[in-house]
Structure 1
Amino acid sequence: MALQGVHGASLIDFPSGSVIGAAGRGPGSIGDAPADAADMIHATMQTAAFATVGQPAHVEDIVITAGNGYHVMRLLRSDIEARMVLYLWLDRSVGNLVVAQRQLSAVAAQISAN
């Protein structure tokens, strides 16, 4: 939440769509948003591009550019067995997408190390 332009952040268990923790606005504070984020991750991971024979493709972030900002979902593990996702809602007019992705990467590494 310390990044400029962040509206909200959440930690989501994406197989169930449950919010583990949330700050600000976004999944966890807006109705079905956690389940919607989980559905987006499932859809991405199940597409032909990621359902390859052998080792699945490497997915770090899923970014949705919308009229109300950037919605960034960072998988804590980049493979098909990932369960936890960091979600960030960033204001397009004042936030910096690249800085936000780098910060999410650092936070994900800290969480994964624990």
Structure 2
Amino acid sequence: MPGIDECLLEVMRLPGARGAAVVDWTSGLALGTIGESPNGDHEATAAETAEVARMAAEQPVFAGDAAVAGPGTRTPGAVPPHPPGLPGLAVEDVIITTAPGYHILRFVETSFDSSVFLHLWLDRAEGNLALARMRLGDIAERLVLA
């Protein structure tokens, strides 16, 4: 089971990868970084992407309950169910598209109350978004946080 450094090295092997980080979205701290940062500062990028991740993770509209239970079947105030494989968090990833590239924020599911995600900055001309998303999911599943 690879740790943070090994996972980041594997992420950077993806075609078009420009930079990556493992970030705690509650604190906005980078637990590990590699490659370039979109704004030249890995810590500032971690804090900024943590805001996006936190907003997506905490919104009831992204809880996945309508897709699982069907429209109109949720009881107001009830805790929404989580899709299989994501017991603690319904959002799997967030993809942000910019003119020069993509930012993929992939949430990491852990045995403890995880608030960690992988951030990949992918060059639009050289990268493959679908491949990167699938591989990032595989890497996130294997990541060991000690």
With the shorter chain as reference, the TM-score category is 0.7 to 0.9
Of residues 12, 16, 22, the one that matches 1:5 is 16
List per-residue Cα deviations over 1:25-72 (Å, max 9, x = no partner): 127952521111010011112334036731355211100001220000
TM-score, structure 1 normalization:
0.84
Give the counterpart letter for 1:26 in structure 2. Answer: S
Q: Kindly tell me: are residues 87 and 28 of structure 1, through their superposed partners in 2, closer, same or farther at Cα, counting changes over 3 Å?
A: farther
Tell me the secondary structure at the aligned position of residue 109 of structure 1: helix
List per-residue Cα deviations over 1:82-103 (Å, max 9, x = no partner): 3110000001111000110111
Bigger share in helix: 2
- Aligned position for 2:108: 76
Aligned mates of 1:76, 1:7 — CA distance in 2: 20
Of residues 121, 132, 136, the one that matches 1:104 is 136
TM-score, structure 2 normalization:
0.67
Aligned mates of 1:59, 1:112 — CA distance in 2: 20
Query: Do the aligned partners of 1:73 and 1:85 also contact (CA within 8 Å) in 2?
Result: yes
Aligned mates of 2:100, 2:93 — CA distance in 1: 19
Q: Kindly tell me: are residues 56 and 34 of structure 1, through their superposed partners in 2, closer, same or farther at Cα, counting changes over 3 Å?
A: farther
- Aligned position for 1:49: 61
- CA RMSD across the alignment: 2.4
Larger Rg: 2
Aligned mates of 1:5, 1:102 — CA distance in 2: 15
Segments of 4+ moved more than 6 angstroms: none
Stretches of structure 2 that go unaligned for 5 or more consecutive residues are: 1-11, 66-77, 83-89
